[in-house]
Every structure is written in C-alpha cells, then in structure tokens.
Structure 1
Amino acid sequence: MNAPSTTPIAPEAPVNAAAVTAYIGIGANLGDARAQVQRAILQLGKLPHTSLSAQSSLFRTAPLDADGDDYINAVACISTRLSAHALLQALQQVEQDFGRQRPYPNAPRTLDLDLLLYGQASIADSTLTVPHPRMLQRAFVLIPLLQIDPFINIPKHGPAHQFAPQVADQAIRKV
C-alpha cells in the first residue's frame, strides 16, 4: 500500500482561535498493524492546525467484541485548532487513506481512529460522542491513555485511573 497522503481539510473547516488538547485512540489488526499504527501517529501530526504532543507505547490486545487477529493499539495526544467535528472528519479521511473498510460492525480493520477526548467538551449528537462512550470500559484505550497522563480527568466521569480495576481482566501487553 502506498503511504497515505496528507489529509486535506476543506478550507471552510471550522477552526478554533485557541488550540484544544484532544486524545485519539488508534488500533489496527489487518496487514502490518504495528507499522500502520506507527504511520497513523505520524499522520496525526500532519493534520492541518494540529501538532502531535505525546504518544503512548504500542500495546497488543485480543479483539474485544470483534473478530480477527490481535490488535496493535496506542493513544496519541494532539493539540489542534480544528473543531471537534472537523477533527472527526479528518480522522475518518486518514482511515480511508489507510484502506479502512466497514463491511460490518467491529470488522477487522487496517486502521481505527477514535476521538476519545476533545478538551473538556461533552458532545453527543448524531455524528460524534465525546468522551468516547466505551473508552473507560476498554483496557486498550484506558491503559495507553493513563500512560500518557496518569492524572487525566474524564468529563462527567472523574479521574480515569479509578476505572483501571474494571478492565484488569482484559489482556494487554506492551509491544
């Protein structure tokens, strides 16, 4: 597969005056999943009005409510002036650039990018829910997130570390 191009964002894409810290969940289990996650992290830093602030280690996890091979997962922290919806659109374009297909829910994937947190915003509309509704139930999100920021607070939920015991039975291994 060719390297993904820099994701174009429409010139009219909403841009904030001040940067917002956002966290992106990253996963893949098709093809060279490790390389795809590493390349996706680099692509996040190339999004317009966005810079990569931090990234977790890579983790291997068994599929949860899904089929296929083990996943390679990570979380990235970005600083962005894109609106939440423009960022979601950009993430979906990056997935497409990596050959993402959606034949059925939870299908194996070349790349999955989830907008986990967008500053302290709580968003719930037909296209976006932030904080991500299942992020505190999944070790493959929670453990890498806590690696980046052990004291992070999740809007409407509180400290993320208090949810770690609830995912302790999910196998996760640092790559």
Structure 2
Amino acid sequence: MIDSKRKYKEYLDCDKNALGLRNHNAFSRVKEFMAPNAIWGFQKLLRKVEYYKNCKKGPFNRVYYYYLKYRFRKRSMRLGFSIPENVFGPGLAIVHYGTIVINSNAKVGANCRIHACTNIGASGGNPEAPQLGNNVYIAPGAKIYGNINIANNIAIGANAVVHKSFEEEGILIAGNPAKKIKDIDIKRIIKHI
C-alpha cells in the first residue's frame, strides 16, 4: 500500500517497468505526446488517487483527492475498468482495454499481469474476497471469487473459474472449476520479474 511519497514513486516505477515503458529517449517522448498510452495514464491516475487517499490530509488535499477520484471514475468507465484503490501491489500490468471488475476487499500482490474480461470478487453476499500473492498472471476471461487464497508465482488460464484456494507455488491452474494443470516457471510469462 502506498504510504509515503517514496512508495508512490516506487509503485509508479514498478508499474512502468511492468508495462514495458522503460525507454526515455526522444522518440518515446514524442510518441507518448502524440499518442498517449491510455492504460499507463489510467495506472498513473490510480496510483495518484491512492497516494492522496492514504497520505495527504487536510481540507485542500481532500478537495484535490475528490477531484482526482472524479477523473479516475471517468477514465475507468471509458476503459471498462472497475478497479478500486489499494488493491494491487507494485508492478501492475493491465494488458488490454476491456472489462476488468475487482472487489474492493480483494488484495493482489506485486507484479500482477491481468487481461480483459476478468472478475475478482466476493461470493454469496459475503464481504471476503480473494487474496492473491505476488507474481500472478491472470489470463483473459478468468473469474476468481470467494474467500480464497492464491499463492505466489501462479498463472491462471483463460476463462478459468477459481473458487477454491491454491497454496502450491509455481503452477498453472485452469478450467471450470479450476484445477492444477502443470508446474510452470512464472518468469517465462511475466518477463519483467
């Protein structure tokens, strides 16, 4: 969770690295000016909203926080994202535009790579939501719900329905309902870790 200016900058740097936006040459700056990356803009705004929510107190900062939250909601609706603050750790990589719905009680560790048409939510009216570890890859269409835990270094396959915990690290889970398919090396899927 972002709790200082240093952490805010660290989260931004990790997110930028996860999205593969490390070039700082003149061509990349011109390209970003002419055709801004909408997902990177969304993630920067998400982190700024988190920073102002967690760190900045006082009436003027509160007003600015609500202004940022208004802009964040507009951008979220335009891109199809429903992602609340303080859910994702550093190194978030949203790969495509499209529907992504995340419960505010969910927690996702560092270096998550998430695709479109993904839902992470509660189940049956219970407030508990999934807790995902570090280095988790979530393929398009995955549905993850309930009071469950997903270990570190796990890949969740396309259209998987995950409603039970997986404590073993370094595996691929897929199917409906999800089950272990095989052991994997997550560094082959999430390249920046």
The normalised TM-score by structure 2 is 0.24
TM-score, normalised to structure 1, is: 0.26
**Relative to total residues, which structure has the larger strand share, 1 or 2?**
1
Higher RCO (C-alpha under 8 Å, 6+ residues apart): 1
Richer in helix (by share)? 2
Structure label with greater radius of gyration: 2
